[in-house]
């Protein structure tokens, strides 16, 4: 590949062992060079390496690392987390119907390539570049990913939860842009949770206060822990919660128990663990990851069912934390229209797709055109049903 910057060489590596952490993070989170939090904690070397070292990805998981590394001479200028996959689990952008249709027609859908952070429906850069190398590095990685898929006769390449800018660039290069939907809470400069409540309609405001009061009566205390305050016994409890939720939602948990031990060692400052405690015993919990401007809600589970405790730990405590930390947004994970009434509004998320077979590509392109229109319309309609006060309408408590 050649451009104005000279020759760019892109190679694939089967493990992060093959690249130095500093070289990866210089591309993945250059903003963290000042010692602050990365914009996207999930694309950092420490997070992706924790997945590998814990066995959450790699042999037997269906997620085999094939990370891309782009070099200009001896300088690493861009990297991308990429995996060869033999299933469609843990992606949150669903293509099971595509796989079924392709295989019913006599094709072989798996293996495929997935450029993503495993098990993580959070938008972030997928083409990770050094500053000032964005256009060059992104183009080199994108071309290389397609070439790897094509040269190996793979059915498809999927770049999930990429940024809007990456989606636009990928579409310009011929990839198919897919729209999906999530619910995010936005911090409009609130000084407190009550400031946020004041922007809601009277009915929604009363309902949230009622839910918070109900949750607080579960019989214990709610604590929010990060860094060294998170202790190994907290992970013992949270592993139980995670297993229960994972078994009910996905059939089996994606992360191994060892991941949480490694997270305690390497990622504890990136995490906010909210626990409902009955004395010294956690009975429910929600795990969040802390970005530079965003709090990412990831996992929830419980040993005991208590009214409204899920809403409190996952949504309201996250809003409290975002306000206290001055964060701009809470991303509450995939799906969940029930989040709308709690101040989380629908937003568009993006993914890019390359399909090798010409006829199948045309069919998918037609499907995505209709799907984009439907998603965009649904977001517009749902937004009108948001809990916020309508302008120029006087309300009374």
CA distances from 328 to 150, 177, 342 (A): 40, 26, 17
Q: What is the pLDDT of residue 251?
A: 61
Given a cut of 80, whether residue 394 has pLDDT beyond it is: no
Q: What is the pLDDT of residue 1?
A: 37
What is the pLDDT confidence band of residue 7, given thresholds at 50, 70 and 90? confident
Q: What is the pLDDT of residue 390?
A: 78
- Give the Cα separation of 67 and 28 in Å (integer): 13
Q: What is the pLDDT of residue 247?
A: 65
Given a cut of 70, whether residue 249 has pLDDT beyond it is: no
Which stretch of DSSP H or E encloses residue 161?
A: strand 156-162
What is the pLDDT confidence band of residue 4, given thresholds at 50, 70 and 90? very low
Q: Which domains does the chain have, with CATH numbers?
A: 2-180+347-384 (3.40.630.30), 188-327 (3.40.630.30)
Burial bucket for residue 268 (CB in 10 Å: 0-12, 13-18, 19+): middle
59-68, 333-342, 374-383: which range is least confident on average?
333-342
CA 8 to chain centroid, in Å, comes to: 29
- Give the Cα separation of 270 and 226 in Å (integer): 8
Q: How many CB atoms lie within 10 A of CB 278?
A: 15
What's the pLDDT tens digit per position in 299-340?
A: 999 999 999 999 999 999 999 999 999 999 999 988 788 999
Average pLDDT over residues 390-394: 56
């Amino acid at each position: 590949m050649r451009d104005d910057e000279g020759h760019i060489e892109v190679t694939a590596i089967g493990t992060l062992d093959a690249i130095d952490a500093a070289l990866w993070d210089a591309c993945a989170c250059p903003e963290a060079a000042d010692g602050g939090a990365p914009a996207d904690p999930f694309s950092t070397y420490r997070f992706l390496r924790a997945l590998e070292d814990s066995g959450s990805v790699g042999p037997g998981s269906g997620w085999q690392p094939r990370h891309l590394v782009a070099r200009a001479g001896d300088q690493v200028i861009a990297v991308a987390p990429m995996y060869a996959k033999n299933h469609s689990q843990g992606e949150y952008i669903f293509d099971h119907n595509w796989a079924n249709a392709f295989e019913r027609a006599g094709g072989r859908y798996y293996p495929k390539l997935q450029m993503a952070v495993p098990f993580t429906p959070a938008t972030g850069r997928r083409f990770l570049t050094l500053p000032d190398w964005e256009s060059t590095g992104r183009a080199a990685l994108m071309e290389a990913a397609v070439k790897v898929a094509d040269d190996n006769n793979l059915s498809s390449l999927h770049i999930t939860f990429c940024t809007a800018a990456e989606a636009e660039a990928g579409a310009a290069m011929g990839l198919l842009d897919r729209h999906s939907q999530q619910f995010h809470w936005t911090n409009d400069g609130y000084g407190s949770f009550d400031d946020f409540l004041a922007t809601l309609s009277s009915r929604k405001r009363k309902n949230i206060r009622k839910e918070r009061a109900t949750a607080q009566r579960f019989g214990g205390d709610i604590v929010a822990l990060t860094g060294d305050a998170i202790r190994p016994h907290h992970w013992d409890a949270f592993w139980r919660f995670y297993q229960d939720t994972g078994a009910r939602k996905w059939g089996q948990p994606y992360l191994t128990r060892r991941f949480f031990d490694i997270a305690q060692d390497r990622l504890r400052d990136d995490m906010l663990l909210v626990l409902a405690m009955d004395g010294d015993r956690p009975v429910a919990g929600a795990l969040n990851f802390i970005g530079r401007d965003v709090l990412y809600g990831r996992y929830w589970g419980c040993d005991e069912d208590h009214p409204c405790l899920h809403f409190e730990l996952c949504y309201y405590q996250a809003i409290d934390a975002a306000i206290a930390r001055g964060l701009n947004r809470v991303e509450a994970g995939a799906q969940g229209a029930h989040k709308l009434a709690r101040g989380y509004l629908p937003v568009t998320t993006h993914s890019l797709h390359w399909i090798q077979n010409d006829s199948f590509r045309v069919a998918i392109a037609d499907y995505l055109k209709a799907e984009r229109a439907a998603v965009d319309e649904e977001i517009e309609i749902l937004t009108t049903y948001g809990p916020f006060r309508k302008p120029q309408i006087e309300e009374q408590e």
